[in-house]
Protein backbone atom coordinates (compact mmCIF):
# COMPACT_ATOMS: atom_id res chain seq x y z
CA UNK A 1 0.00 0.00 0.00
CA UNK A 2 2.98 2.26 -0.18
CA UNK A 3 2.34 5.29 -2.17
CA UNK A 4 4.41 5.46 -5.11
CA UNK A 5 6.85 8.19 -4.29
CA UNK A 6 8.66 9.78 -7.39
CA UNK A 7 10.38 6.80 -8.93
CA UNK A 8 10.72 7.95 -12.57
CA UNK A 9 12.28 11.04 -14.08
CA UNK A 10 10.32 11.81 -17.28
CA UNK A 11 8.49 10.20 -20.15
CA UNK A 12 11.71 10.19 -22.12
CA UNK A 13 13.61 8.35 -19.39
CA UNK A 14 13.49 4.56 -19.43
CA UNK A 15 15.57 2.14 -17.41
CA UNK A 16 17.68 -0.87 -18.28
CA UNK A 17 17.41 -3.80 -15.93
CA UNK A 18 19.44 -6.84 -15.10
CA UNK A 19 18.81 -9.36 -12.38
CA UNK A 20 21.51 -9.24 -9.74
CA UNK A 21 22.59 -11.68 -7.07
CA UNK A 22 20.94 -11.25 -3.67
CA UNK A 23 24.01 -12.45 -1.78
CA UNK A 24 25.16 -9.03 -0.65
CA UNK A 25 21.80 -7.25 -0.75
CA UNK A 26 21.25 -7.51 3.00
CA UNK A 27 24.60 -5.91 3.74
CA UNK A 28 23.97 -3.12 1.22
CA UNK A 29 20.57 -2.32 2.72
CA UNK A 30 21.86 -2.56 6.28
CA UNK A 31 24.73 -0.21 5.50
CA UNK A 32 22.47 2.28 3.68
CA UNK A 33 19.97 2.38 6.55
CA UNK A 34 22.58 2.70 9.27
CA UNK A 35 24.35 5.51 7.40
CA UNK A 36 21.17 7.58 7.30
CA UNK A 37 19.68 6.76 10.72
CA UNK A 38 20.03 9.35 13.49
CA UNK A 39 18.27 7.35 16.20
CA UNK A 40 21.03 4.82 16.94
CA UNK A 41 23.93 4.27 19.30
CA UNK A 42 26.99 6.30 18.33
CA UNK A 43 25.11 9.27 16.90
CA UNK A 44 26.30 12.58 18.31
CA UNK A 45 23.54 14.26 20.38
CA UNK A 46 21.54 16.54 18.10
CA UNK A 47 18.74 19.05 17.76
CA UNK A 48 16.53 18.66 14.68
CA UNK A 49 13.65 20.70 13.36
CA UNK A 50 11.59 20.14 10.22
CA UNK A 51 8.70 22.04 8.64
CA UNK A 52 5.89 20.03 7.05
CA UNK A 53 3.65 20.96 4.12
CA UNK A 54 1.76 19.24 1.29
CA UNK A 55 4.08 18.32 -1.61
CA UNK A 56 1.59 19.40 -4.29
CA UNK A 57 -0.57 22.50 -4.68
CA UNK A 58 -3.67 20.38 -5.22
CA UNK A 59 -3.37 19.11 -1.61
CA UNK A 60 -3.04 22.49 0.11
CA UNK A 61 -6.46 22.03 1.68
CA UNK A 62 -5.55 18.68 3.23
CA UNK A 63 -4.49 20.24 6.55
CA UNK A 64 -1.22 18.33 6.44
CA UNK A 65 0.99 21.10 7.72
CA UNK A 66 3.03 21.39 10.88
CA UNK A 67 6.45 20.79 12.36
CA UNK A 68 8.59 18.18 14.09
CA UNK A 69 11.31 19.11 16.56
CA UNK A 70 13.57 16.75 18.47
CA UNK A 71 16.26 17.02 21.12
CA UNK A 72 18.17 13.73 21.24
CA UNK A 73 20.87 12.37 23.56
CA UNK A 74 20.56 8.61 22.94
CA UNK A 75 17.99 6.04 21.70
CA UNK A 76 16.65 5.90 25.27
CA UNK A 77 16.82 9.59 26.15
CA UNK A 78 15.13 12.22 23.99
CA UNK A 79 12.38 14.83 23.77
CA UNK A 80 10.14 15.29 20.72
CA UNK A 81 7.48 17.85 19.90
CA UNK A 82 5.11 17.50 16.93
CA UNK A 83 2.51 19.99 15.75
CA UNK A 84 -0.30 20.06 13.22
CA UNK A 85 -3.47 22.19 13.05
CA UNK A 86 -5.41 19.54 15.00
CA UNK A 87 -2.79 17.89 17.18
CA UNK A 88 0.15 18.80 19.41
CA UNK A 89 2.29 16.36 21.37
CA UNK A 90 5.30 16.62 23.65
CA UNK A 91 6.86 13.20 24.19
CA UNK A 92 9.81 12.53 26.53
CA UNK A 93 11.65 9.24 26.89
CA UNK A 94 14.13 8.74 29.74
CA UNK A 95 15.23 5.14 30.02
CA UNK A 96 12.21 2.98 30.84
CA UNK A 97 10.01 5.99 31.59
CA UNK A 98 7.95 7.90 29.03
CA UNK A 99 5.97 11.12 29.53
CA UNK A 100 3.45 12.70 27.17
CA UNK A 101 1.30 15.76 26.94
CA UNK A 102 -1.23 15.62 24.09
CA UNK A 103 -3.53 18.32 22.79
CA UNK A 104 -6.01 16.40 20.68
CA UNK A 105 -7.31 12.86 21.14
CA UNK A 106 -5.95 11.46 17.88
CA UNK A 107 -2.38 11.29 16.58
CA UNK A 108 -2.63 11.55 12.75
CA UNK A 109 -0.80 8.66 11.12
CA UNK A 110 0.85 10.83 8.45
CA UNK A 111 2.30 13.03 11.21
CA UNK A 112 3.50 10.04 13.22
CA UNK A 113 5.21 8.53 10.17
CA UNK A 114 6.95 11.80 9.30
CA UNK A 115 8.28 12.12 12.86
CA UNK A 116 9.71 8.60 12.67
CA UNK A 117 11.08 8.69 9.12
CA UNK A 118 13.08 11.87 9.81
CA UNK A 119 15.32 10.06 12.26
CA UNK A 120 14.76 6.36 11.49
CA UNK A 121 14.13 5.72 7.76
CA UNK A 122 13.51 1.97 8.21
CA UNK A 123 11.98 1.50 11.67
CA UNK A 124 11.99 -2.33 11.57
CA UNK A 125 15.35 -3.00 9.97
CA UNK A 126 15.67 -6.59 11.22
CA UNK A 127 12.26 -7.45 9.75
CA UNK A 128 13.16 -5.83 6.44
CA UNK A 129 16.49 -7.67 6.26
CA UNK A 130 14.66 -10.97 6.79
CA UNK A 131 12.16 -10.33 4.01
CA UNK A 132 14.54 -9.02 1.36
CA UNK A 133 16.35 -12.37 1.34
CA UNK A 134 13.36 -13.76 -0.56
CA UNK A 135 12.47 -10.53 -2.37
CA UNK A 136 12.80 -9.68 -6.05
CA UNK A 137 16.09 -7.87 -6.58
CA UNK A 138 16.75 -5.76 -9.67
CA UNK A 139 19.42 -3.30 -10.66
CA UNK A 140 18.05 -0.49 -12.84
CA UNK A 141 20.86 1.36 -14.59
CA UNK A 142 20.43 4.70 -16.34
CA UNK A 143 23.55 5.57 -18.30
CA UNK A 144 22.18 8.98 -19.32
CA UNK A 145 21.33 10.10 -15.77
CA UNK A 146 23.21 7.88 -13.31
CA UNK A 147 21.60 9.65 -10.36
CA UNK A 148 18.35 7.90 -11.29
CA UNK A 149 19.90 4.42 -11.27
CA UNK A 150 18.67 2.25 -8.44
CA UNK A 151 18.97 -1.11 -6.74
CA UNK A 152 15.40 -2.15 -6.02
CA UNK A 153 14.12 -4.91 -3.73
CA UNK A 154 10.40 -5.77 -3.60
CA UNK A 155 8.67 -8.41 -1.52
CA UNK A 156 5.12 -9.51 -0.81
CA UNK A 157 3.60 -10.56 2.51
CA UNK A 158 0.44 -12.67 2.60
CA UNK A 159 -2.29 -10.94 4.60
CA UNK A 160 -6.08 -10.91 4.76
CA UNK A 161 -8.20 -13.65 6.27
CA UNK A 162 -8.99 -17.26 5.36
CA UNK A 163 -12.16 -16.02 3.65
CA UNK A 164 -10.57 -13.05 1.85
CA UNK A 165 -6.97 -13.55 0.78
CA UNK A 166 -4.82 -10.45 0.32
CA UNK A 167 -1.21 -9.30 0.11
CA UNK A 168 0.85 -6.37 1.33
CA UNK A 169 3.72 -5.06 -0.80
CA UNK A 170 6.94 -3.61 0.61
CA UNK A 171 10.11 -2.30 -1.00
CA UNK A 172 13.48 -0.67 -0.53
CA UNK A 173 15.50 1.14 -3.20
CA UNK A 174 19.13 2.29 -3.03
CA UNK A 175 21.32 4.44 -5.23
CA UNK A 176 24.13 2.08 -6.35
CA UNK A 177 26.75 4.82 -6.64
CA UNK A 178 26.09 6.59 -3.32
CA UNK A 179 24.83 3.56 -1.42
CA UNK A 180 22.06 5.70 0.09
CA UNK A 181 18.32 5.09 0.36
CA UNK A 182 16.08 6.35 -2.44
CA UNK A 183 12.83 5.22 -0.88
CA UNK A 184 11.25 2.39 1.04
CA UNK A 185 7.93 1.44 2.50
CA UNK A 186 5.58 -1.11 4.00
CA UNK A 187 2.67 -1.18 6.43
CA UNK A 188 3.21 1.60 8.98
CA UNK A 189 6.38 3.06 7.49
CA UNK A 190 7.77 4.49 4.28
CA UNK A 191 9.18 7.60 2.67
CA UNK A 192 11.28 9.01 -0.15
CA UNK A 193 14.63 10.55 0.80
CA UNK A 194 16.38 13.44 -0.95
CA UNK A 195 18.99 16.16 -0.46
CA UNK A 196 21.43 14.19 1.66
CA UNK A 197 24.04 16.09 3.68
CA UNK A 198 26.62 14.87 6.24
CA UNK A 199 26.21 15.03 10.01
CA UNK A 200 29.11 13.62 12.08
CA UNK A 201 29.65 10.55 9.92
CA UNK A 202 26.00 10.08 8.99
CA UNK A 203 24.35 11.05 5.70
CA UNK A 204 20.97 12.54 6.54
CA UNK A 205 18.18 13.35 4.08
CA UNK A 206 17.14 16.98 4.40
CA UNK A 207 13.96 16.35 2.35
CA UNK A 208 11.62 13.50 3.28
CA UNK A 209 8.36 12.80 1.41
CA UNK A 210 5.71 10.74 3.20
CA UNK A 211 2.19 9.45 2.59
CA UNK A 212 -0.72 10.15 0.27
CA UNK A 213 -1.68 12.97 0.01
CA UNK A 214 2.08 13.38 0.10
CA UNK A 215 3.72 15.56 2.74
CA UNK A 216 7.20 17.02 2.36
CA UNK A 217 9.29 17.46 5.48
CA UNK A 218 12.12 19.98 5.06
CA UNK A 219 14.83 19.79 7.71
CA UNK A 220 15.61 23.40 8.60
CA UNK A 221 17.83 22.67 11.61
CA UNK A 222 20.21 19.78 12.28
CA UNK A 223 22.88 20.76 14.76
CA UNK A 224 24.78 19.56 17.78
CA UNK A 225 22.67 19.50 20.90
CA UNK A 226 23.44 22.60 22.91
CA UNK A 227 22.43 23.62 26.41
CA UNK A 228 18.85 22.70 27.41
CA UNK A 229 16.81 23.76 30.47
CA UNK A 230 16.97 21.70 33.64
CA UNK A 231 14.42 18.90 33.60
CA UNK A 232 14.06 19.00 29.82
CA UNK A 233 14.35 15.19 29.62
CA UNK A 234 12.52 14.43 32.89
CA UNK A 235 9.93 11.72 32.23
CA UNK A 236 8.50 11.98 35.73
CA UNK A 237 7.41 15.63 35.54
CA UNK A 238 3.95 16.68 36.65
CA UNK A 239 1.23 17.65 34.22
CA UNK A 240 1.56 14.72 31.85
CA UNK A 241 -1.31 12.62 30.52
CA UNK A 242 -2.41 9.69 32.62
CA UNK A 243 -2.25 7.37 29.60
CA UNK A 244 0.27 7.38 26.76
CA UNK A 245 -1.07 7.81 23.24
CA UNK A 246 0.40 4.94 21.21
CA UNK A 247 -0.07 3.54 17.69
CA UNK A 248 0.34 -0.22 17.19
CA UNK A 249 0.60 -2.01 13.82
CA UNK A 250 -1.48 -5.22 13.69
CA UNK A 251 -2.47 -7.69 10.98
CA UNK A 252 -5.94 -7.90 9.45
CA UNK A 253 -7.14 -10.99 11.36
CA UNK A 254 -6.32 -9.21 14.64
CA UNK A 255 -8.14 -6.11 13.41
CA UNK A 256 -11.26 -8.08 12.50
CA UNK A 257 -11.52 -9.64 15.95
CA UNK A 258 -12.69 -6.23 17.25
CA UNK A 259 -14.98 -5.42 14.31
CA UNK A 260 -18.53 -4.65 15.43
CA UNK A 261 -21.06 -6.23 13.01
CA UNK A 262 -23.04 -3.64 11.08
CA UNK A 263 -26.09 -3.63 8.86
CA UNK A 264 -25.60 -4.86 5.30
CA UNK A 265 -25.10 -2.00 2.86
CA UNK A 266 -25.78 -1.84 -0.85
CA UNK A 267 -23.15 -0.88 -3.40
CA UNK A 268 -23.81 1.61 -6.19
CA UNK A 269 -24.32 0.20 -9.70
CA UNK A 270 -21.23 0.40 -11.96
CA UNK A 271 -21.48 1.31 -15.62
CA UNK A 272 -18.25 -0.46 -16.59
CA UNK A 273 -15.55 -2.70 -15.21
CA UNK A 274 -15.92 -5.76 -13.01
CA UNK A 275 -18.96 -6.04 -10.75
CA UNK A 276 -17.49 -8.18 -7.98
CA UNK A 277 -14.21 -8.04 -6.07
CA UNK A 278 -12.50 -6.52 -3.04
CA UNK A 279 -11.77 -3.04 -1.77
CA UNK A 280 -8.47 -2.89 0.12
CA UNK A 281 -6.68 -0.14 2.01
CA UNK A 282 -4.76 0.68 5.18
CA UNK A 283 -6.75 2.18 8.05
CA UNK A 284 -5.94 3.96 11.28
CA UNK A 285 -8.42 3.25 14.09
CA UNK A 286 -8.44 5.59 17.08
CA UNK A 287 -8.62 4.67 20.76
CA UNK A 288 -12.44 4.68 20.68
CA UNK A 289 -12.62 2.27 17.75
CA UNK A 290 -13.44 4.80 15.02
CA UNK A 291 -11.74 4.75 11.61
CA UNK A 292 -9.91 8.08 11.40
CA UNK A 293 -7.70 7.65 8.32
CA UNK A 294 -8.14 5.68 5.12
CA UNK A 295 -5.14 5.48 2.79
CA UNK A 296 -5.23 4.95 -0.99
CA UNK A 297 -7.96 2.55 -2.08
CA UNK A 298 -7.10 -0.46 -4.22
CA UNK A 299 -9.87 -2.47 -5.89
CA UNK A 300 -10.69 -4.43 -9.02
CA UNK A 301 -12.84 -1.51 -10.20
CA UNK A 302 -11.83 2.07 -9.39
CA UNK A 303 -15.43 3.24 -9.86
CA UNK A 304 -16.28 1.55 -6.55
CA UNK A 305 -13.47 3.25 -4.64
CA UNK A 306 -15.45 6.22 -3.29
CA UNK A 307 -18.23 3.95 -2.04
CA UNK A 308 -15.59 1.64 -0.60
CA UNK A 309 -13.99 4.52 1.27
CA UNK A 310 -17.35 5.51 2.78
CA UNK A 311 -18.05 1.91 3.75
CA UNK A 312 -14.67 1.57 5.48
CA UNK A 313 -15.00 4.93 7.27
CA UNK A 314 -18.33 3.71 8.68
CA UNK A 315 -16.81 0.59 10.29
CA UNK A 316 -16.69 0.51 14.07
CA UNK A 317 -14.46 -1.53 16.39
CA UNK A 318 -14.30 -2.20 20.09
CA UNK A 319 -11.28 -0.36 21.51
CA UNK A 320 -7.92 -2.09 21.10
CA UNK A 321 -6.02 -2.54 24.35
CA UNK A 322 -2.35 -2.99 25.15
CA UNK A 323 -1.63 -3.74 28.81
CA UNK A 324 -5.18 -2.62 29.55
CA UNK A 325 -4.70 0.79 27.88
CA UNK A 326 -6.58 1.80 24.68
CA UNK A 327 -4.27 2.35 21.68
CA UNK A 328 -4.57 3.48 18.11
CA UNK A 329 -4.05 0.68 15.58
CA UNK A 330 -2.85 0.67 11.99
CA UNK A 331 -3.80 -2.26 9.80
CA UNK A 332 -4.96 -3.40 6.40
CA UNK A 333 -8.67 -3.99 5.77
CA UNK A 334 -10.37 -5.85 2.92
CA UNK A 335 -14.06 -5.41 2.12
CA UNK A 336 -15.77 -7.53 -0.58
CA UNK A 337 -18.15 -5.77 -2.99
CA UNK A 338 -20.80 -7.05 -5.39
CA UNK A 339 -23.05 -4.89 -7.54
CA UNK A 340 -24.90 -4.60 -10.87
CA UNK A 341 -25.09 -2.48 -13.99
CA UNK A 342 -27.32 0.63 -13.88
CA UNK A 343 -30.49 0.53 -15.94
CA UNK A 344 -30.38 2.49 -19.18
CA UNK A 345 -26.70 3.53 -18.94
CA UNK A 346 -23.99 2.92 -21.49
CA UNK A 347 -21.68 0.03 -20.71
CA UNK A 348 -18.01 0.36 -21.56
CA UNK A 349 -15.49 -2.38 -22.10
CA UNK A 350 -12.45 -2.81 -19.85
CA UNK A 351 -9.34 -0.70 -20.36
CA UNK A 352 -7.49 -3.85 -21.39
CA UNK A 353 -10.04 -4.42 -24.16
CA UNK A 354 -9.54 -0.93 -25.59
CA UNK A 355 -5.75 -1.24 -25.35
CA UNK A 356 -5.68 -4.65 -27.02
CA UNK A 357 -8.05 -3.55 -29.80
CA UNK A 358 -6.15 -0.30 -30.36
CA UNK A 359 -2.87 -2.18 -30.63
CA UNK A 360 -4.33 -4.61 -33.19
CA UNK A 361 -5.96 -2.03 -35.46
CA UNK A 362 -3.41 0.82 -35.22
CA UNK A 363 0.06 -0.74 -35.00
CA UNK A 364 1.64 -3.12 -37.46
CA UNK A 365 3.76 -5.04 -34.97
CA UNK A 366 0.58 -6.22 -33.20
CA UNK A 367 -2.01 -6.31 -35.97
CA UNK A 368 -0.19 -7.52 -39.08
CA UNK A 369 0.99 -11.00 -39.95
CA UNK A 370 2.86 -9.70 -43.00
CA UNK A 371 6.55 -8.81 -42.62
CA UNK A 372 7.12 -5.09 -43.16
CA UNK A 373 9.68 -2.32 -43.02
CA UNK A 374 8.48 1.06 -41.81
CA UNK A 375 10.48 4.25 -42.36
CA UNK A 376 9.87 7.53 -40.53
CA UNK A 377 11.50 10.91 -40.00
CA UNK A 378 11.16 13.16 -36.98
CA UNK A 379 12.06 16.73 -36.14
CA UNK A 380 12.93 17.52 -32.54
CA UNK A 381 15.29 19.46 -30.32
CA UNK A 382 18.22 17.46 -28.98
CA UNK A 383 21.08 18.09 -26.60
CA UNK A 384 22.48 20.78 -28.90
CA UNK A 385 19.29 22.82 -28.19
CA UNK A 386 18.71 23.20 -31.93
CA UNK A 387 15.95 21.54 -33.98
CA UNK A 388 17.25 18.74 -36.19
CA UNK A 389 15.96 15.82 -38.24
CA UNK A 390 16.22 12.19 -37.19
CA UNK A 391 15.28 8.90 -38.82
CA UNK A 392 13.53 5.78 -37.61
CA UNK A 393 13.28 2.31 -39.19
CA UNK A 394 11.24 -0.64 -37.96
CA UNK A 395 11.87 -4.01 -39.63
CA UNK A 396 9.45 -6.73 -38.51
CA UNK A 397 9.44 -10.34 -39.68
CA UNK A 398 7.47 -11.88 -36.82
CA UNK A 399 6.97 -11.47 -33.08
CA UNK A 400 10.42 -12.96 -32.36
CA UNK A 401 12.41 -11.30 -35.13
CA UNK A 402 12.32 -7.51 -35.36
CA UNK A 403 14.63 -4.50 -35.26
CA UNK A 404 13.83 -0.86 -34.40
CA UNK A 405 16.51 1.74 -35.03
CA UNK A 406 16.67 5.54 -34.71
CA UNK A 407 19.45 8.01 -35.43
CA UNK A 408 19.68 11.69 -34.54
CA UNK A 409 22.73 13.94 -34.97
CA UNK A 410 25.62 11.87 -33.61
CA UNK A 411 23.46 9.45 -31.66
CA UNK A 412 21.79 6.16 -32.44
CA UNK A 413 19.49 3.84 -30.55
CA UNK A 414 18.59 0.26 -31.51
CA UNK A 415 16.34 -2.39 -30.02
CA UNK A 416 16.07 -5.85 -31.55
CA UNK A 417 14.74 -9.29 -30.83
CA UNK A 418 16.12 -12.57 -32.08
CA UNK A 419 14.19 -15.55 -30.79
CA UNK A 420 13.80 -15.16 -27.03
CA UNK A 421 16.70 -12.71 -26.65
CA UNK A 422 16.27 -8.94 -26.59
CA UNK A 423 19.07 -6.52 -27.43
CA UNK A 424 19.60 -2.80 -26.96
CA UNK A 425 22.34 -0.46 -28.16
CA UNK A 426 22.42 3.18 -27.03
CA UNK A 427 25.16 5.47 -28.32
CA UNK A 428 25.44 9.26 -28.10
CA UNK A 429 24.05 12.16 -26.08
CA UNK A 430 20.51 12.00 -27.50
CA UNK A 431 19.57 8.39 -26.73
CA UNK A 432 16.89 9.52 -24.23
CA UNK A 433 15.22 11.50 -27.02
CA UNK A 434 15.20 8.45 -29.29
CA UNK A 435 13.78 6.26 -26.52
CA UNK A 436 11.04 8.83 -26.28
CA UNK A 437 10.41 8.56 -30.04
CA UNK A 438 10.16 4.78 -29.69
CA UNK A 439 7.53 5.18 -26.99
CA UNK A 440 5.53 7.71 -29.00
CA UNK A 441 5.49 5.42 -32.04
CA UNK A 442 4.12 2.50 -29.99
CA UNK A 443 2.50 4.18 -26.96
CA UNK A 444 -0.19 1.77 -25.77
CA UNK A 445 0.89 0.36 -22.38
CA UNK A 446 1.94 -3.26 -22.24
CA UNK A 447 -0.50 -5.58 -20.51
CA UNK A 448 1.97 -6.38 -17.73
CA UNK A 449 2.47 -2.73 -16.74
CA UNK A 450 -0.98 -1.57 -15.69
CA UNK A 451 -3.73 -2.39 -13.22
CA UNK A 452 -7.27 -2.44 -14.59
CA UNK A 453 -8.70 -0.66 -11.56
CA UNK A 454 -6.53 2.42 -12.21
CA UNK A 455 -8.47 3.36 -15.36
CA UNK A 456 -11.65 5.40 -15.87
CA UNK A 457 -13.53 5.32 -19.16
CA UNK A 458 -15.91 7.83 -20.72
CA UNK A 459 -17.00 9.32 -24.03
CA UNK A 460 -15.05 12.30 -25.39
CA UNK A 461 -14.03 13.82 -28.72
CA UNK A 462 -10.70 14.46 -30.48
CA UNK A 463 -10.50 17.01 -33.28
CA UNK A 464 -14.24 16.64 -33.85
CA UNK A 465 -14.14 12.83 -33.87
CA UNK A 466 -16.23 10.89 -31.33
CA UNK A 467 -13.88 8.95 -29.08
CA UNK A 468 -13.59 6.76 -26.01
CA UNK A 469 -11.17 8.12 -23.42
CA UNK A 470 -9.31 5.69 -21.15
CA UNK A 471 -7.66 7.65 -18.32
CA UNK A 472 -5.65 6.98 -15.18
CA UNK A 473 -4.34 9.55 -12.70
CA UNK A 474 -5.61 12.84 -11.35
CA UNK A 475 -8.04 15.04 -13.27
CA UNK A 476 -9.23 18.32 -11.76
CA UNK A 477 -12.97 19.07 -11.50
CA UNK A 478 -12.46 21.43 -14.48
CA UNK A 479 -11.06 18.59 -16.56
CA UNK A 480 -7.37 19.54 -16.40
CA UNK A 481 -5.06 16.53 -16.42
CA UNK A 482 -2.21 16.35 -13.92
CA UNK A 483 1.05 16.52 -15.93
CA UNK A 484 2.89 14.33 -13.42
CA UNK A 485 0.35 11.56 -12.92
CA UNK A 486 -2.30 11.46 -15.65
CA UNK A 487 -2.16 8.96 -18.52
CA UNK A 488 -4.85 9.14 -21.19
CA UNK A 489 -5.61 7.31 -24.45
CA UNK A 490 -8.35 8.25 -26.93
CA UNK A 491 -9.76 5.70 -29.43
CA UNK A 492 -12.33 6.08 -32.20
CA UNK A 493 -15.31 3.74 -32.58
CA UNK A 494 -13.24 1.14 -34.46
CA UNK A 495 -10.47 1.21 -31.87
CA UNK A 496 -7.96 3.35 -33.76
CA UNK A 497 -5.75 5.39 -31.45
CA UNK A 498 -6.25 9.13 -31.98
CA UNK A 499 -4.43 10.79 -29.09
CA UNK A 500 -2.34 10.13 -25.97
CA UNK A 501 -1.43 12.17 -22.90
CA UNK A 502 1.40 10.85 -20.71
CA UNK A 503 3.25 12.92 -18.07
CA UNK A 504 2.35 16.23 -19.62
CA UNK A 505 3.19 15.19 -23.20
CA UNK A 506 0.34 15.07 -25.73
CA UNK A 507 0.58 13.18 -29.04
CA UNK A 508 -2.02 13.43 -31.84
CA UNK A 509 -2.29 11.10 -34.85
CA UNK A 510 -3.24 12.40 -38.33
CA UNK A 511 -3.25 11.33 -42.00
CA UNK A 512 -4.58 7.80 -41.54
CA UNK A 513 -3.95 5.30 -44.35
CA UNK A 514 -4.89 1.66 -44.81
CA UNK A 515 -2.10 -0.90 -44.72
CA UNK A 516 -2.65 -4.64 -44.43
CA UNK A 517 -6.12 -4.00 -43.02
CA UNK A 518 -4.90 -1.54 -40.37
CA UNK A 519 -5.38 2.22 -40.00
CA UNK A 520 -1.91 3.76 -39.71
CA UNK A 521 -1.50 7.39 -38.65
CA UNK A 522 1.32 8.71 -40.83
CA UNK A 523 1.83 11.98 -38.91
CA UNK A 524 2.21 12.38 -35.17
CA UNK A 525 2.36 15.81 -33.56
CA UNK A 526 3.93 15.87 -30.10
CA UNK A 527 2.95 18.81 -27.89
CA UNK A 528 4.20 20.11 -24.56
CA UNK A 529 1.93 22.66 -22.84
CA UNK A 530 0.08 23.10 -26.12
CA UNK A 531 3.20 23.89 -28.16
CA UNK A 532 4.64 21.64 -30.86
CA UNK A 533 7.71 19.88 -29.41
CA UNK A 534 8.30 17.27 -32.10
CA UNK A 535 6.75 15.90 -35.29
CA UNK A 536 7.04 12.35 -36.59
CA UNK A 537 6.21 11.53 -40.21
CA UNK A 538 5.96 7.98 -41.53
CA UNK A 539 7.52 8.19 -44.98
CA UNK A 540 7.01 4.64 -46.19
CA UNK A 541 5.77 1.12 -45.38
CA UNK A 542 6.91 -1.71 -47.62
CA UNK A 543 6.99 -5.52 -47.39
CA UNK A 544 10.11 -6.62 -45.54
CA UNK A 545 12.80 -8.44 -47.45
CA UNK A 546 14.87 -11.31 -46.10
CA UNK A 547 17.66 -10.15 -43.83
CA UNK A 548 21.27 -11.38 -43.47
CA UNK A 549 22.32 -13.58 -40.59
CA UNK A 550 22.94 -11.52 -37.49
CA UNK A 551 20.69 -8.59 -38.49
CA UNK A 552 18.59 -9.06 -35.35
CA UNK A 553 21.54 -9.81 -33.05
CA UNK A 554 23.59 -7.16 -31.23
CA UNK A 555 26.33 -9.14 -29.55
CA UNK A 556 27.26 -8.02 -26.02
CA UNK A 557 24.16 -5.81 -25.90
CA UNK A 558 21.59 -8.17 -24.39
CA UNK A 559 18.72 -6.31 -22.77
CA UNK A 560 16.25 -7.29 -20.06
CA UNK A 561 13.00 -5.35 -20.38
CA UNK A 562 11.82 -3.58 -17.21
CA UNK A 563 10.34 -0.24 -16.12
CA UNK A 564 9.01 0.39 -19.63
CA UNK A 565 5.37 0.35 -20.66
CA UNK A 566 6.23 -0.57 -24.24
CA UNK A 567 5.34 -3.96 -25.69
CA UNK A 568 8.63 -4.08 -27.62
What pLDDT, in 10s, does the model give residues 434-454?
A: 999 999 999 999 887 877 777
CB contact burial 26-53 (16+ within 10 A = b; e otherwise): eebbbebbebbbbbeeebeebbbbbebe
Packing angle of the helix pair 125-132, 25-35 (nearest 10 deg): 160
Domains of the chain: 16-224 (2.50.20), 247-338 (3.30.1150), 351-543 (2.50.20)
Closest CA to 532 of 555, 562, 566, 506: 506
Residue 83 is inside which H or E element, if any? strand 77-84
Percent of the chain past pLDDT 70, that is, above it, reads 94
pLDDT for position 15: 30
Which segments of the chain have a pLDDT < 50? 1-22
d(CA 208, CA 317): 33
pLDDT for position 221: 98
The phi, psi pair for 435, rounded to 5°, reads -60, -40
Q: What is the reported pTM? A: 0.64
d(CA 274, CA 337): 10
Classify residue 264 by burial, with Cβ atoms within 10 Å: 0-12, 13-18, 19+: exposed
Residue 45, C-beta contacts closer than 8 angstroms, at least 6 positions apart? 72, 73, 74, 224, 225
Residue 245, C-beta contacts closer than 8 angstroms, at least 6 positions apart? 89, 100, 102, 107, 287, 328
d(CA 416, CA 555): 11
Amino acid sequence: MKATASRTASIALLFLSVLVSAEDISSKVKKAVERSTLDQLGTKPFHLKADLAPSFDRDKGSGRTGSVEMWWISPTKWRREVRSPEFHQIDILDGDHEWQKNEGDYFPEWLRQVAIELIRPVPSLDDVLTHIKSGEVRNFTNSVKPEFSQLNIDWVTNTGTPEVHNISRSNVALNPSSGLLFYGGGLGWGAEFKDYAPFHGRMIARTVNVGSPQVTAKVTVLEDLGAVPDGYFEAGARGGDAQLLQTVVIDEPALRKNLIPGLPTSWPPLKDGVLEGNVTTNVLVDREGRVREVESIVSENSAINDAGRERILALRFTPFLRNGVPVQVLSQITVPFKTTRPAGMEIFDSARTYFDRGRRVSFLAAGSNDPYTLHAEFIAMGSSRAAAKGTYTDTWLDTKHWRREASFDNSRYIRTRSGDTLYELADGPDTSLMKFIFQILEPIPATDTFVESDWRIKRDSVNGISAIRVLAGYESPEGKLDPEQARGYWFDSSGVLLKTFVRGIEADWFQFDDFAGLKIGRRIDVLKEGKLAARIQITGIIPAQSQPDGFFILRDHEWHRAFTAEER
